[in-house]
Amino acid sequence: MKQILIKTNRLTKQYGAITAVNQLDLEVFGGEIYGFLGPNGSGKTTTIRMLAGLLEPTSGEAFICGYNLNREPARAKALIAYVPDHPRVYGKLTAREFLALMADLYRMPPEYARDQAERLLTLFELSERADELLEGFSHGMRQKVVVAAALLHRPRVLLMDEPTVGLDPRSARLLKDVLQELARQGEAIFLSTHILEIAERMCHRVGILKEGRLIAQGSPEELRQQAGRAGGSLEDIFLELTGGAEDAELIRSLGEEGVS
């Protein structure tokens, strides 16, 4: 039986009169890459930040590996790694020093942490610049450092918000291969992305969020069947469910001749 590593129960976040996430019910299993899709402002980042324990929900609950994030935050967070959409690093540290800091925060055995850091620096082609200050790194290189830091302590749950932003095609492919291997090893990968091709090719299941509500969920093939679009792309289904098809019609109308 598959183990549920991420679970939410009516998870809700409100900002005054605005409901960013509305009674979200989710289950993500070990060994699964779950894609979280939705238009800008649909609540994806808010959801991920609540799952990471960085944002307190207005109501509802979230569980990581069975631990309630509100009642047992330390145990839950020890099993999580979070990669934000904009890499945040300490510019006055080198890449190697940054990984060492993350290892200390997770109380990793020093020798194992050093070995793991060197493997990750090599994997992400950072070894040659590992002793340079991060303030001199490009966005893509900082993103690779943040991903390496997230993988350092071997989390059971990996939360990623637009993880391929700023990565060149080779690095994006490498990240895809790494995530698929982690899933094979039983970890749960929860990622948001605007690149629907990535979700279609890589994710076992996807959830589509609109105005804070989960409006569809399943494998890409299951979503095609639900939408009655056999052979259709995930992009077609996404646009149909989120109103993008109406936008396409408006765009087409821009080229129509006006009434004289």
CATH code of residue 46: 3.40.50.300
Q: Do 141 and 160 fall into the same domain?
A: no
> Of the residues 107, 122, 154, which one is the last residue of a structural domain?
154
Q: Indicate the SS3 state at residue 5.
A: strand
Spatial contact of 65 and 76, defined as CB atoms under 8 Å apart:
yes
Sheet strands side by side (includes 213-218)? 80-83, 157-161, 188-192, 33-37, 205-210, 213-218
Neighbours of 212 (CB within 10 A): 22
pLDDT value, residue 79: 96
State yes or no: pLDDT of 194 exceeds 90: no
Establish if 84 belongs to a structural domain: no
State yes or no: pLDDT of 260 exceeds 50: no
State yes or no: pLDDT of 83 exceeds 90: yes
State yes or no: pLDDT of 248 exceeds 60: no
Establish if 260 belongs to a structural domain: no
- Strands 80-83 and 18-29, by their bridges, are unpaired
**Domain tally, the chain:** 2
The more confidently predicted of residues 255 and 38 is 38
> Of the residues 108, 136, 154, which one is the last residue of a structural domain?
154
- CA–CA gap between residue 206 and residue 221 (Å, rounded): 10
Q: What is the mean pLDDT of residues 35-52?
A: 95
Q: Do 67 and 103 fall into the same domain?
A: no
Q: Do 100 and 35 fall into the same domain?
A: no
Q: Indicate the SS3 state at residue 157.
A: strand
> Of the residues 132, 154, 176, which one is the last residue of a structural domain?
154
Q: Give this prediction's pTM.
A: 0.89
State yes or no: pLDDT of 181 exceeds 90: yes
Q: Do 238 and 166 fall into the same domain?
A: yes
Establish if 259 belongs to a structural domain: no
Q: What element of type H or E holds 156?
A: none
pLDDT value, residue 198: 83
Q: Do 63 and 115 fall into the same domain?
A: no
pLDDT value, residue 10: 97
Q: Do 130 and 162 fall into the same domain?
A: no
pLDDT value, residue 129: 97
CA-angle at 197, arms to 195 and 200, nearest 5°: 115
Mean pLDDT of the chain: 91
DSSP assigned state of 42: S
State yes or no: pLDDT of 6 exceeds 70: yes
Q: Which domain holds residue 144?
A: 89-154
Establish if 67 belongs to a structural domain: yes
Q: What is the mean pLDDT of residues 14-30?
A: 96
